[in-house]
A and B are shown apart, each in its own frame.
Chain A
Protein backbone atom coordinates (compact mmCIF):
# COMPACT_ATOMS: atom_id res chain seq x y z
CA UNK A 1 0.00 0.00 0.00
CA UNK A 2 0.99 3.61 -0.52
CA UNK A 3 2.15 5.31 2.68
CA UNK A 4 0.21 8.54 3.22
CA UNK A 5 0.80 9.66 6.79
CA UNK A 6 2.77 12.77 7.42
CA UNK A 7 3.25 12.36 11.18
CA UNK A 8 3.39 9.36 13.51
CA UNK A 9 1.52 10.69 16.55
CA UNK A 10 -0.53 7.67 17.60
CA UNK A 11 -1.47 4.36 16.02
CA UNK A 12 -4.99 4.57 17.43
CA UNK A 13 -6.57 5.37 14.08
CA UNK A 14 -4.38 3.10 11.95
CA UNK A 15 -5.87 0.46 9.72
CA UNK A 16 -4.60 -3.10 9.86
CA UNK A 17 -3.07 -2.54 6.43
CA UNK A 18 -0.99 0.34 7.72
CA UNK A 19 0.29 -1.71 10.62
CA UNK A 20 1.09 -4.63 8.29
CA UNK A 21 2.88 -2.26 5.98
CA UNK A 22 5.18 -1.08 8.79
CA UNK A 23 5.82 -4.65 9.96
CA UNK A 24 6.69 -5.69 6.42
CA UNK A 25 9.07 -2.76 6.02
CA UNK A 26 10.58 -3.66 9.40
CA UNK A 27 11.44 -7.07 7.94
CA UNK A 28 13.37 -5.35 5.18
CA UNK A 29 15.22 -3.28 7.79
CA UNK A 30 16.14 -6.37 9.78
CA UNK A 31 17.76 -7.57 6.56
CA UNK A 32 19.70 -4.30 6.25
CA UNK A 33 20.89 -4.69 9.84
CA UNK A 34 22.13 -8.21 9.09
CA UNK A 35 24.38 -6.99 6.27
CA UNK A 36 28.14 -6.93 6.91
CA UNK A 37 27.99 -3.12 6.71
CA UNK A 38 24.86 -2.23 8.68
CA UNK A 39 24.07 0.85 6.69
CA UNK A 40 21.87 1.85 3.76
CA UNK A 41 21.79 5.19 1.96
CA UNK A 42 18.12 6.26 1.72
CA UNK A 43 18.25 9.18 4.17
CA UNK A 44 21.62 10.51 3.08
CA UNK A 45 21.68 14.30 3.27
CA UNK A 46 18.64 14.47 5.54
CA UNK A 47 18.69 15.63 9.13
CA UNK A 48 16.73 13.96 11.90
CA UNK A 49 16.30 16.05 15.05
CA UNK A 50 15.89 14.06 18.25
CA UNK A 51 13.99 16.29 20.67
CA UNK A 52 13.85 14.55 24.02
CA UNK A 53 12.22 16.67 26.70
CA UNK A 54 12.08 13.74 29.10
CA UNK A 55 15.03 11.61 30.12
CA UNK A 56 15.34 8.48 28.01
CA UNK A 57 18.49 6.77 26.92
CA UNK A 58 17.14 3.63 25.31
CA UNK A 59 14.60 5.09 22.96
CA UNK A 60 16.84 7.98 22.00
CA UNK A 61 19.78 5.72 21.21
CA UNK A 62 17.50 3.36 19.32
CA UNK A 63 16.23 6.21 17.11
CA UNK A 64 19.78 7.51 16.68
CA UNK A 65 21.03 4.11 15.51
CA UNK A 66 18.03 3.76 13.23
CA UNK A 67 18.60 7.17 11.63
CA UNK A 68 22.31 6.55 11.21
CA UNK A 69 21.74 3.10 9.70
CA UNK A 70 19.77 4.93 7.02
CA UNK A 71 22.62 7.45 6.60
CA UNK A 72 20.75 10.44 8.07
CA UNK A 73 22.51 13.15 10.03
CA UNK A 74 21.30 13.25 13.61
CA UNK A 75 21.06 16.22 15.97
CA UNK A 76 20.01 16.08 19.60
CA UNK A 77 17.91 18.78 21.25
CA UNK A 78 17.41 18.06 24.91
CA UNK A 79 15.34 19.85 27.50
CA UNK A 80 15.17 18.72 31.06
CA UNK A 81 12.37 19.20 33.50
CA UNK A 82 9.30 21.30 32.89
CA UNK A 83 9.75 23.87 30.17
CA UNK A 84 7.65 26.29 32.16
CA UNK A 85 10.07 26.13 35.08
CA UNK A 86 12.96 26.61 32.72
CA UNK A 87 11.37 29.69 31.24
CA UNK A 88 11.48 28.19 27.75
CA UNK A 89 8.08 27.13 26.54
CA UNK A 90 7.33 24.29 24.18
CA UNK A 91 6.24 26.98 21.72
CA UNK A 92 9.74 28.51 21.87
CA UNK A 93 11.23 25.10 21.23
CA UNK A 94 8.94 24.53 18.26
CA UNK A 95 10.04 27.82 16.73
CA UNK A 96 13.67 26.85 17.28
CA UNK A 97 13.14 23.45 15.69
CA UNK A 98 11.46 25.11 12.74
CA UNK A 99 14.35 27.54 12.33
CA UNK A 100 16.93 24.77 12.59
CA UNK A 101 15.30 23.24 9.54
CA UNK A 102 15.54 19.51 10.17
CA UNK A 103 13.76 17.11 7.86
CA UNK A 104 12.11 15.15 10.64
CA UNK A 105 11.55 15.57 14.37
CA UNK A 106 11.47 12.63 16.77
CA UNK A 107 10.12 13.76 20.10
CA UNK A 108 9.67 12.46 23.63
CA UNK A 109 7.73 14.55 26.15
CA UNK A 110 6.28 14.07 29.64
CA UNK A 111 2.93 15.69 28.70
CA UNK A 112 0.30 13.60 26.94
CA UNK A 113 -0.51 15.22 23.61
CA UNK A 114 2.65 17.33 23.31
CA UNK A 115 3.47 15.85 19.84
CA UNK A 116 0.08 17.10 18.59
CA UNK A 117 1.00 20.57 19.80
CA UNK A 118 4.29 20.41 17.88
CA UNK A 119 2.88 18.78 14.74
CA UNK A 120 0.23 21.47 14.43
CA UNK A 121 2.78 24.27 14.61
CA UNK A 122 5.58 23.03 12.38
CA UNK A 123 6.02 22.08 8.76
CA UNK A 124 8.31 19.17 9.71
CA UNK A 125 7.02 15.60 10.08
CA UNK A 126 6.89 14.52 13.73
CA UNK A 127 7.38 11.03 15.17
CA UNK A 128 6.07 10.54 18.69
CA UNK A 129 8.70 8.71 20.72
CA UNK A 130 6.46 8.68 23.81
CA UNK A 131 4.14 11.33 25.23
CA UNK A 132 3.11 11.21 28.87
CA UNK A 133 0.73 8.36 29.53
CA UNK A 134 -0.73 8.59 26.04
CA UNK A 135 1.17 6.75 23.33
CA UNK A 136 4.45 5.19 22.35
CA UNK A 137 3.73 4.11 18.78
CA UNK A 138 7.14 2.64 17.98
CA UNK A 139 7.01 0.49 21.13
CA UNK A 140 3.60 -0.87 20.13
CA UNK A 141 4.87 -1.67 16.64
CA UNK A 142 8.08 -3.29 17.84
CA UNK A 143 6.11 -5.38 20.32
CA UNK A 144 3.80 -6.48 17.50
CA UNK A 145 6.78 -7.34 15.31
CA UNK A 146 8.43 -9.28 18.14
CA UNK A 147 5.24 -11.20 18.96
CA UNK A 148 4.72 -12.04 15.30
CA UNK A 149 8.26 -13.42 15.24
CA UNK A 150 7.58 -15.62 18.25
CA UNK A 151 3.96 -16.65 17.65
CA UNK A 152 3.34 -16.18 13.94
CA UNK A 153 -0.18 -15.00 13.18
CA UNK A 154 -1.67 -13.12 16.16
CA UNK A 155 -5.27 -13.89 15.24
CA UNK A 156 -7.04 -15.22 18.33
CA UNK A 157 -3.89 -15.03 20.45
CA UNK A 158 -4.29 -13.72 23.98
CA UNK A 159 -1.69 -11.34 25.36
CA UNK A 160 -1.58 -10.31 29.03
CA UNK A 161 -0.36 -6.82 29.91
CA UNK A 162 0.34 -6.50 33.63
CA UNK A 163 1.17 -3.48 35.75
CA UNK A 164 0.58 0.25 35.90
CA UNK A 165 -1.74 0.62 32.91
CA UNK A 166 -3.05 4.05 33.96
CA UNK A 167 0.32 5.72 33.58
CA UNK A 168 1.54 3.56 30.69
CA UNK A 169 1.81 4.82 27.13
CA UNK A 170 3.24 1.40 26.27
CA UNK A 171 0.04 -0.38 27.34
CA UNK A 172 -2.10 1.96 25.23
CA UNK A 173 0.07 1.59 22.15
CA UNK A 174 0.29 -2.19 22.57
CA UNK A 175 -3.50 -2.38 22.68
CA UNK A 176 -3.82 -0.11 19.65
CA UNK A 177 -1.38 -2.20 17.62
CA UNK A 178 -2.12 -5.76 18.72
CA UNK A 179 -5.92 -5.69 18.66
CA UNK A 180 -6.19 -4.73 14.96
CA UNK A 181 -3.83 -7.66 14.24
CA UNK A 182 -6.39 -10.02 15.77
CA UNK A 183 -4.97 -10.44 19.29
CA UNK A 184 -7.06 -10.18 22.44
CA UNK A 185 -5.64 -8.36 25.43
CA UNK A 186 -6.10 -9.12 29.11
CA UNK A 187 -5.03 -6.26 31.33
CA UNK A 188 -4.02 -7.11 34.87
CA UNK A 189 -2.70 -5.17 37.83
CA UNK A 190 -3.96 -3.31 40.88
CA UNK A 191 -7.32 -1.54 40.37
CA UNK A 192 -5.68 1.71 41.50
CA UNK A 193 -3.36 1.54 38.48
CA UNK A 194 -6.14 0.85 35.96
CA UNK A 195 -7.98 3.73 34.25
CA UNK A 196 -11.29 4.09 36.12
CA UNK A 197 -13.45 3.66 33.01
CA UNK A 198 -11.68 0.44 32.02
CA UNK A 199 -11.80 -0.93 35.54
CA UNK A 200 -15.54 -0.25 35.60
CA UNK A 201 -16.19 -2.22 32.45
CA UNK A 202 -16.13 0.41 29.70
CA UNK A 203 -13.27 -1.42 28.02
CA UNK A 204 -12.08 -0.99 24.45
CA UNK A 205 -12.93 -3.73 21.94
CA UNK A 206 -10.78 -6.83 22.31
CA UNK A 207 -9.67 -5.91 25.81
CA UNK A 208 -10.58 -7.47 29.18
CA UNK A 209 -9.52 -6.69 32.74
CA UNK A 210 -8.65 -9.45 35.18
CA UNK A 211 -7.18 -8.23 38.47
CA UNK A 212 -6.08 -11.75 39.44
CA UNK A 213 -2.81 -12.22 37.55
CA UNK A 214 -2.78 -16.01 37.97
CA UNK A 215 -6.16 -16.26 36.30
CA UNK A 216 -5.13 -13.77 33.62
CA UNK A 217 -2.09 -15.85 32.77
CA UNK A 218 -3.87 -19.23 32.59
CA UNK A 219 -3.42 -20.42 29.02
CA UNK A 220 -2.21 -17.05 27.74
CA UNK A 221 -0.02 -16.82 24.64
CA UNK A 222 2.31 -14.05 25.88
CA UNK A 223 2.77 -11.58 28.70
CA UNK A 224 4.08 -8.02 28.70
CA UNK A 225 5.10 -6.66 32.11
CA UNK A 226 5.11 -2.88 32.55
CA UNK A 227 7.62 -0.89 34.50
CA UNK A 228 6.39 0.14 37.95
CA UNK A 229 7.34 3.66 38.96
CA UNK A 230 8.33 3.56 42.60
CA UNK A 231 6.58 6.85 43.40
CA UNK A 232 3.16 5.18 42.94
CA UNK A 233 3.54 3.89 46.47
CA UNK A 234 4.03 7.36 47.89
CA UNK A 235 0.95 8.74 46.14
CA UNK A 236 -1.28 6.24 47.92
CA UNK A 237 -1.94 4.00 44.93
CA UNK A 238 -0.12 1.01 46.40
CA UNK A 239 0.34 -0.23 49.96
CA UNK A 240 3.91 -1.39 49.34
CA UNK A 241 6.25 -2.57 46.61
CA UNK A 242 6.59 -5.84 48.50
CA UNK A 243 2.87 -6.51 48.25
CA UNK A 244 2.87 -5.51 44.57
CA UNK A 245 5.61 -8.04 43.87
CA UNK A 246 3.75 -10.78 45.76
CA UNK A 247 0.49 -10.20 43.92
CA UNK A 248 1.48 -8.91 40.48
CA UNK A 249 5.18 -9.77 40.07
CA UNK A 250 6.09 -12.12 37.20
CA UNK A 251 7.61 -15.21 38.78
CA UNK A 252 8.65 -18.50 37.21
CA UNK A 253 5.60 -20.22 38.71
CA UNK A 254 3.24 -17.61 37.29
CA UNK A 255 4.83 -17.65 33.85
CA UNK A 256 4.40 -21.45 33.79
CA UNK A 257 0.62 -20.96 33.82
CA UNK A 258 0.79 -19.72 30.25
CA UNK A 259 1.00 -21.99 27.22
CA UNK A 260 4.34 -23.77 26.84
CA UNK A 261 7.01 -21.40 25.56
CA UNK A 262 4.68 -18.40 25.71
CA UNK A 263 7.05 -15.43 25.60
CA UNK A 264 7.69 -12.80 28.26
CA UNK A 265 8.28 -9.20 27.23
CA UNK A 266 9.06 -5.89 28.96
CA UNK A 267 9.57 -2.44 27.44
CA UNK A 268 12.50 -1.75 29.77
CA UNK A 269 14.15 -0.60 31.82
CA UNK A 270 13.17 -3.45 34.16
CA UNK A 271 12.92 -3.25 37.94
CA UNK A 272 14.15 -6.79 38.49
CA UNK A 273 12.76 -8.18 41.70
CA UNK A 274 9.73 -5.86 41.60
CA UNK A 275 7.57 -6.39 38.51
CA UNK A 276 9.66 -9.26 37.19
CA UNK A 277 11.97 -11.92 38.69
CA UNK A 278 15.53 -11.83 37.42
CA UNK A 279 15.21 -15.48 36.43
CA UNK A 280 12.18 -14.70 34.27
CA UNK A 281 13.71 -11.53 32.86
CA UNK A 282 16.71 -13.45 31.59
CA UNK A 283 15.08 -16.86 31.15
CA UNK A 284 14.42 -18.85 28.01
CA UNK A 285 11.01 -17.28 27.42
CA UNK A 286 12.31 -13.74 27.65
CA UNK A 287 12.24 -11.68 24.46
CA UNK A 288 13.46 -8.51 26.12
CA UNK A 289 16.69 -8.32 24.10
CA UNK A 290 14.88 -9.21 20.88
CA UNK A 291 12.54 -6.27 21.57
CA UNK A 292 15.50 -3.93 21.82
CA UNK A 293 16.98 -5.24 18.54
CA UNK A 294 13.65 -5.05 16.74
CA UNK A 295 13.17 -1.53 18.06
CA UNK A 296 15.94 -0.23 15.82
CA UNK A 297 14.45 -1.94 12.76
CA UNK A 298 10.92 -0.63 13.44
CA UNK A 299 12.22 2.92 13.83
CA UNK A 300 14.19 2.56 10.61
CA UNK A 301 11.00 1.43 8.90
CA UNK A 302 9.07 4.51 10.06
CA UNK A 303 11.85 6.94 9.14
CA UNK A 304 12.04 5.28 5.75
CA UNK A 305 8.29 5.39 5.13
CA UNK A 306 8.04 9.03 6.20
CA UNK A 307 10.96 9.90 3.92
CA UNK A 308 8.98 8.61 0.93
CA UNK A 309 10.53 5.11 0.58
CA UNK A 310 13.74 5.98 -1.26
CA UNK A 311 15.87 3.09 -2.52
CA UNK A 312 17.59 0.93 0.07
CA UNK A 313 20.49 0.15 -2.29
CA UNK A 314 23.55 2.30 -2.80
CA UNK A 315 23.34 4.41 -5.94
Chain B
Protein backbone atom coordinates (compact mmCIF):
# COMPACT_ATOMS: atom_id res chain seq x y z
CA UNK B 1 0.00 0.00 0.00
CA UNK B 2 2.89 2.32 0.87
CA UNK B 3 4.42 1.60 -2.53
CA UNK B 4 1.11 2.46 -4.18
CA UNK B 5 0.94 5.79 -2.35
CA UNK B 6 4.54 6.69 -3.18
CA UNK B 7 3.90 5.99 -6.87
CA UNK B 8 0.79 8.17 -6.73
CA UNK B 9 2.85 11.03 -5.34
CA UNK B 10 5.50 10.59 -8.04
CA UNK B 11 2.84 10.61 -10.76
CA UNK B 12 1.31 13.83 -9.43
CA UNK B 13 4.75 15.50 -9.28
CA UNK B 14 5.49 14.40 -12.86
CA UNK B 15 2.09 15.66 -14.02
CA UNK B 16 2.70 19.07 -12.41
CA UNK B 17 6.21 19.21 -13.92
CA UNK B 18 4.79 18.45 -17.37
CA UNK B 19 2.21 21.22 -16.99
CA UNK B 20 4.91 23.71 -15.94
CA UNK B 21 7.08 22.70 -18.91
CA UNK B 22 4.13 23.21 -21.27
CA UNK B 23 3.46 26.69 -19.86
CA UNK B 24 7.16 27.52 -20.35
CA UNK B 25 6.92 26.38 -24.00
CA UNK B 26 3.86 28.57 -24.58
CA UNK B 27 5.63 31.54 -22.93
CA UNK B 28 8.63 31.01 -25.21
CA UNK B 29 6.25 31.44 -28.15
CA UNK B 30 5.31 34.89 -26.81
CA UNK B 31 8.96 36.04 -26.68
CA UNK B 32 8.77 37.84 -30.04
CA UNK B 33 11.97 39.79 -29.39
CA UNK B 34 14.10 36.67 -28.92
CA UNK B 35 16.02 35.04 -31.76
CA UNK B 36 13.99 32.28 -33.46
CA UNK B 37 17.01 29.98 -33.16
CA UNK B 38 17.23 30.48 -29.40
CA UNK B 39 13.46 29.97 -28.97
CA UNK B 40 13.69 26.80 -31.08
CA UNK B 41 16.52 25.34 -29.00
CA UNK B 42 14.75 26.24 -25.72
CA UNK B 43 11.37 24.72 -26.66
CA UNK B 44 12.99 21.56 -28.05
CA UNK B 45 15.05 21.18 -24.86
CA UNK B 46 11.83 21.54 -22.87
CA UNK B 47 10.19 18.92 -25.11
CA UNK B 48 13.11 16.54 -24.47
CA UNK B 49 12.72 17.06 -20.71
CA UNK B 50 8.97 16.36 -20.96
CA UNK B 51 9.60 13.24 -23.03
CA UNK B 52 12.13 12.02 -20.46
CA UNK B 53 9.56 12.51 -17.66
CA UNK B 54 6.89 10.56 -19.55
CA UNK B 55 9.23 7.70 -20.50
CA UNK B 56 10.96 7.35 -17.14
CA UNK B 57 7.94 7.61 -14.85
CA UNK B 58 4.66 7.15 -16.75
CA UNK B 59 6.12 4.38 -18.96
CA UNK B 60 8.00 2.93 -15.97
CA UNK B 61 11.36 2.77 -17.79
CA UNK B 62 13.09 4.03 -14.65
CA UNK B 63 12.10 0.78 -12.92
CA UNK B 64 12.45 -1.64 -15.84
CA UNK B 65 15.43 -3.99 -16.24
CA UNK B 66 18.19 -4.04 -18.87
CA UNK B 67 15.98 -5.17 -21.75
CA UNK B 68 14.94 -1.54 -22.26
CA UNK B 69 18.42 -0.69 -23.59
CA UNK B 70 18.45 -3.62 -26.02
CA UNK B 71 15.03 -2.67 -27.33
CA UNK B 72 15.34 1.09 -27.52
CA UNK B 73 19.01 1.66 -28.46
CA UNK B 74 18.76 0.49 -32.10
CA UNK B 75 15.60 2.48 -32.80
CA UNK B 76 17.08 5.58 -31.18
CA UNK B 77 20.32 5.34 -33.20
CA UNK B 78 18.43 4.81 -36.47
CA UNK B 79 15.95 7.57 -35.65
CA UNK B 80 18.76 10.08 -35.09
CA UNK B 81 20.73 8.80 -38.07
CA UNK B 82 17.88 9.23 -40.54
CA UNK B 83 17.64 13.07 -40.54
CA UNK B 84 21.43 13.32 -40.30
CA UNK B 85 21.72 11.18 -43.43
CA UNK B 86 19.27 13.44 -45.29
CA UNK B 87 20.78 16.76 -44.23
CA UNK B 88 23.83 16.95 -46.55
CA UNK B 89 21.73 16.53 -49.69
CA UNK B 90 18.38 18.15 -48.98
CA UNK B 91 19.09 20.42 -46.06
CA UNK B 92 22.45 21.97 -46.73
CA UNK B 93 23.37 22.06 -50.40
CA UNK B 94 20.68 21.90 -53.02
CA UNK B 95 18.36 24.86 -52.45
CA UNK B 96 21.16 27.26 -51.66
CA UNK B 97 22.49 26.72 -55.17
CA UNK B 98 19.07 26.99 -56.83
CA UNK B 99 17.27 30.02 -55.33
CA UNK B 100 13.47 30.07 -55.29
CA UNK B 101 13.05 32.99 -57.70
CA UNK B 102 15.12 31.18 -60.33
CA UNK B 103 12.85 28.17 -60.07
CA UNK B 104 9.71 30.29 -60.48
CA UNK B 105 11.06 32.01 -63.57
CA UNK B 106 12.09 28.66 -65.04
CA UNK B 107 8.53 27.42 -64.61
CA UNK B 108 7.12 30.53 -66.28
CA UNK B 109 9.44 30.33 -69.27
CA UNK B 110 8.17 26.84 -69.96
CA UNK B 111 4.55 28.09 -69.63
CA UNK B 112 4.13 25.55 -66.84
CA UNK B 113 2.67 27.89 -64.28
CA UNK B 114 0.89 25.07 -62.49
CA UNK B 115 4.15 23.47 -61.45
CA UNK B 116 5.49 23.90 -58.00
CA UNK B 117 8.90 25.26 -57.19
CA UNK B 118 10.10 21.77 -56.28
CA UNK B 119 9.05 20.39 -59.67
CA UNK B 120 10.95 23.09 -61.47
CA UNK B 121 14.01 22.48 -59.40
CA UNK B 122 14.37 19.04 -60.93
CA UNK B 123 15.39 20.51 -64.29
Do A and B interact? no
